[in-house]
Amino acid sequence: MPRAEMTSRERILAAIRHEEPDRVPISPRVGAWMVAEYGDTSLAKQMEVLPLMDFMFITGEPAANYVYGTQTEYDLPDVDAEVTRRDAGDCYILERTFRTPAGSISDITRVPPPGREYGVSPNPVKSEHLVKSLDDLPALEYILLPIPASYDAHRPYEEMLGDRGIVMPCIRSALDHNAGDARGMENLMVDYYTDRALFDGVMDLFHQRSLAKAKACLEAGAGFIFGSWYYNSLSSGWSPAIFEEVFVPQIREHVALAHSYGAIYDYYDDGVLAKSMGLIASAGVDVLETCTPPPVGDFDLAEAKRTIGDRVTLKGYVDLLYVLKHGTPELVERTVREAMEIAKPGGGFIIGSSDSFREGTPRENLDAYWRACVEYGRYD
């Protein structure tokens, strides 16, 4: 006999508690696809065009990020910002210099124009970084905006969404668009071995800011935190040993902070996870996404369900390129069915995608996805 229908919010919470809801929640990432299809990623538009979505909607974090940003104008006390922009054919070059009471720092960024992609998203690429030595950290702090004690930007989205899901403020890790952009990922990897004082200094600066941002959201009543850790992924080049030594303690601090407020912690890494998922689970996270399968990732859904599935809710999994974009409706249906057979029993599974649906994904494949998720996700 079919179970009584739940709201999306009830369904998501039941899955996270490792209970069996009426059906497996369906919550893929759709931002890139929404831009391509509608030119609009707003929650209102998503609610209009995605009737089967169980929303786990992500909002921005406190304090604008001038380290990663490509703004040309800055309103920073005690800082003289000089910015030049010049065309370079396939991109434009942004050169920034910040003159502060503690000294000057500068960087150079290559920014693709709209429609041009570096990798799978139009991310700026830095050819020179703000932090070149430990002496630059005092100046860097002048361009890091103050973090409010309480930050409630998630509330309007909660009111709009109602029972159709949950809202999660995004809190980026110390690396994610923070130290990874201020110092550069390759530089940090070398610093770990050759200049540990610089590595620890820049990482701790951003780790404490990341915790402060999370606390501001939690103080304002956020019940969920979306932790973005993909710069920390083993896909970026970090070893499992460094991951365990440096990153796991940071993850534990974030999770403990969220849990101290009674909030749920969703950990995001869209890279390889086979050698790190056990460490991530040991840190106490509630949800692990995106569980990217081969060939892009290395996530074995059956192994994860067996080894960490009793502690962590698994979210995502369906490959966005080889299955959804370049596959067939039959392949999409089979992939969803097999995922449900493996991960549905006992709850603790939210089906989604290995990252955002992509521009050019055939409509018939998306129709097959939604249809299969409903058909094979029901608990009887």
Residue-wise pLDDT for 245-274, tens only, equals: 999 999 999 999 999 999 999 999 999 999
- Short-list 171, 108, 103, 172, CA closest to 143: 103
Write down the pLDDT at residue 91.
85
Strand pairing report for 92-100 and 103-111:
antiparallel
115 confidence band (pLDDT: 50, 70, 90): low
3-state SS class at 272: coil
Last residue of a domain, one of 134, 160, 177: 134
- Check whether residue 310 and residue 232 sit in a common domain: yes
- Check whether residue 360 and residue 297 sit in a common domain: yes
Query: In the predicted model, is pLDDT for residue 2 greater than 80?
Result: no
Would you say residue 73 lies in a domain?
A: no
- Check whether residue 215 and residue 339 sit in a common domain: yes
- Check whether residue 227 and residue 353 sit in a common domain: yes
Would you say residue 125 lies in a domain?
A: yes
Last residue of a domain, one of 93, 108, 134: 134
Query: In the predicted model, is pLDDT for residue 146 greater than 80?
Result: yes
- Check whether residue 272 and residue 328 sit in a common domain: yes
- Check whether residue 164 and residue 303 sit in a common domain: yes
Which whole-number Å values give the CA distances from 24 to 42, 112, 133, 316, 376, in the listed order?
24, 39, 49, 12, 9
Write down the pLDDT at residue 119.
45
- Check whether residue 20 and residue 149 sit in a common domain: yes
- Check whether residue 108 and residue 157 sit in a common domain: no
Would you say residue 72 lies in a domain?
A: no
- Check whether residue 228 and residue 372 sit in a common domain: yes
- Check whether residue 271 and residue 330 sit in a common domain: yes
Instruction: Write out the two tokens for 207.
Output: 């780790």
Please tell me whether the peptide bond between 114 and the residue prior to it is cis, using omega within 30 degrees of 0.
no
Would you say residue 253 lies in a domain?
A: yes
User: What CATH number does residue 55 fall under?
Assistant: 3.20.20.210
CA dist., res. 154 & res. 167, Å (int):
7
- Check whether residue 240 and residue 330 sit in a common domain: yes
- Give, as one character, the DSSP assignment of residue 222: -
Would you say residue 40 lies in a domain?
A: yes
Would you say residue 69 lies in a domain?
A: no
Please tell me whether the peptide bond between 295 and the residue prior to it is cis, using omega within 30 degrees of 0.
yes
- Check whether residue 229 and residue 92 sit in a common domain: no
Would you say residue 75 lies in a domain?
A: no
Q: Total structural domains in the chain?
A: 2
- Name the residue range of residue 92's domain: 80-134
Residue whose pair of structure tokens reads 């009111």 in the numeric block: 159
The four Cα atoms 97, 98, 99, 102 give a dihedral, to 10 degrees, of: -130
The four Cα atoms 57, 26, 275, 229 give a dihedral, to 10 degrees, of: -10
Write down the pLDDT at residue 90.
80
Would you say residue 300 lies in a domain?
A: yes
